[in-house]
């Protein structure tokens, strides 16, 4: 089993804490975003993949109405009761991800679950790396508690429950990308998502490629308003284009690059810059799908470099550490493409690489990064993997 060691630790901790084996164990992977940045809430397209690192969630029903959550990675325990499930404002704020997921799995009324639960969770997704450890926890929670309580939501509905938890309990207005990628991942394939219709399809990458995640040491934080301000600018731009274009526009998905060029003058400079990023990203994802069909990995990689330039110059959600990683990657022939992954403002870069040269790629990028910043990034080879499941 993938990540057997983590599974063993979670189950052993459950036995030590609660006695006996858990009734249900689930697993959900993190994700990498490969192309299509900040397009999910603009009803656009994204290429992503579930990764080979994830979170296990082990759970049994409680004898009473008590809810106990043990975060193995944090070494912390949070306790409440069904009637008192609410957003944690201070202290163990990590509990908001599983609590929020449970709350919305129960339709916003946890008391109707009847009995509480006791759970231990842990994983091996590097925190703050932009690999969506939070969505992995939400999806692992959703699958395990669905089995425990007998609800019957489909994959997309569970993804939306995790997203709602993120909005209402964790306070981050994310799109559906992270949760959907965790649910719909397949081995050796990308997930191509269409967020207008919430449809998800698998696109094979072929066996001779892998991704390398290069985690910068720039802190990755989205709840501080930078994400929310970008999202607001996109919504403002969509409203503007709805007023000037002679066609229906509800989101930036409906605006072409040519239309942005013609009508951008009516927007403030900052709003125009923010809007062009998701518009361009949608076009790059559709081009990328055509290139993958032909097996043109280098062409696909070139689109990843273009995507990063758009983040750097237009959306301004990159930083000097991420730019350094991408610039270093450009000089290495076995790296086909590179860009920031996820919300940005820190976190990681995603590189499309020839896995045979992984060691050399990591060494060269680490050398250049260390020369610039005095410390080393964490490089890990990642294979697109299967999505969330019961173990």
Catalytic site positions: 178
Nearest to 37 by CA among 214, 198, 225, 231: 231
Q: What is the C-alpha to C-alpha distance for residues 8 and 15, in angstroms, rounded to an integer?
A: 11
Centre a 10 Å sphere on the Cβ of residue 273 and count the other Cβ atoms it contains.
18
Integer Cα distance of 61 and 360 in angstroms: 49
3-state SS, residue 189: strand
Question: Which residues in the chain belong to E strands, given as ranges?
Answer: 24-35, 45-61, 66-71, 76-81, 117-123, 189-194, 199-204, 210-215, 335-341, 348-353, 378-382, 389-390
Backbone region of residue 349 per phi and psi (left: phi > 0; alpha: psi in -120 to 50; beta: other values): beta
């Amino acid at each position: 089993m993938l990540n057997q060691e983590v599974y063993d630790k979670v189950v052993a901790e459950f036995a030590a804490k609660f006695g006996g084996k858990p009734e249900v164990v689930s697993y959900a992977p993190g994700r990498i975003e490969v192309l299509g940045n900040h397009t999910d809430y603009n009803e656009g397209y994204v290429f992503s993949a579930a990764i080979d690192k994830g979170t296990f969630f082990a759970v049994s029903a409680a004898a009473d109405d008590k809810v106990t959550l043990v975060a193995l990675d944090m070494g912390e325990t949070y306790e409440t009761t069904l009637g008192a499930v609410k957003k944690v404002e201070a202290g163990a704020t990590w509990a908001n991800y599983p609590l929020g997921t449970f709350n919305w799995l129960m339709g916003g009324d946890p008391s109707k679950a009847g009995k509480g639960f006791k759970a231990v969770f842990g994983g091996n997704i590097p925190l703050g790396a932009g690999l969506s450890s939070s969505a992995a926890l939400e999806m692992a929670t959703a699958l395990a508690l669905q089995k425990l309580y007998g609800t019957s939501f489909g994959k997309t509905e569970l993804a939306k429950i995790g997203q709602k938890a993120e909005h209402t309990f964790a306070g981050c207005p994310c799109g559906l990308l992270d949760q959907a990628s965790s649910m719909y991942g397949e081995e050796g394939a990308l997930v191509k998502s269409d967020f207008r219709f919430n449809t998800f399809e698998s696109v094979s990458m072929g066996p001779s490629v892998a991704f390398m995640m290069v985690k910068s040491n720039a802190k990755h934080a989205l709840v501080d308003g930078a994400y929310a301000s970008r999202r607001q600018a996109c919504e403002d731009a969509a409203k503007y284009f709805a007023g000037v274009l002679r066609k229906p526009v509800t989101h930036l998905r409906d605006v072409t690059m040519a239309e942005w060029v013609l009508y951008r003058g009516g927007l403030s400079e900052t709003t125009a810059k923010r809007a062009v990023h998701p518009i361009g990203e949608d076009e790059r994802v559709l081009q990328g799908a055509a290139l993958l069909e032909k097996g043109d990995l280098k062409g696909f990689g070139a689109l990843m470099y273009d995507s990063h330039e758009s983040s750097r110059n237009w959306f301004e959600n990159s930083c000097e550490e991420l730019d350094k990683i991408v610039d270093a990657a450009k000089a290495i022939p076995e790296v086909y493409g590179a860009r920031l992954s996820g919300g940005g403002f820190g976190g990681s870069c995603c590189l499309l690489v020839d896995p045979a040269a992984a060691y050399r790629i990591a060494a060269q990028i680490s050398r250049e990064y260390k020369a610039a910043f005095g410390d080393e990034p964490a490089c890990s080879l990642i294979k697109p993997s299967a999505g969330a499941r019961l173990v």
